[in-house]
Amino acid sequence: MSEAKAKVLEHLKMVPDDITSETEILNRLYMLLRLEHSKERVEVEGTLTDDELAAHFAEKREQTQRSLCN
């Protein structure tokens, strides 16, 4: 079995048994995989300070406003 399939199966085991909807199971699985990806990224790239994060989103907001004005 590939490593990717093994990871998916391991995350699938984390989904509570009371969730019965296929859509909800897939959503939960997606969230777990994104969380793992985020944790790995933090370990590699580190974290941002509150000021860095605010500056990042301020820049994104300005870009969005500029694109709407054009």
Over range 28-42, report the average pLDDT. 91
* Number of structural domains the chain divides into: 1
Tell me the mean pLDDT in the region 10-29.
90
Distance CA 35, CA 29 (A): 10
Domain that holds residue 14: 3-69
The answer, as to whether pTM is greater than 0.75, is no
Are the CB atoms for 29 and 11 separated by under 8 Å?
A: yes
pLDDT confidence of residue 20: 86
Q: What is the largest CA-CA distance in the chain?
A: 51
pLDDT band at 23 (very low <50, low <70, confident <90, very high): very high
Output the pLDDT for position 27. 94
Average pLDDT of the chain to the nearest whole number:
90
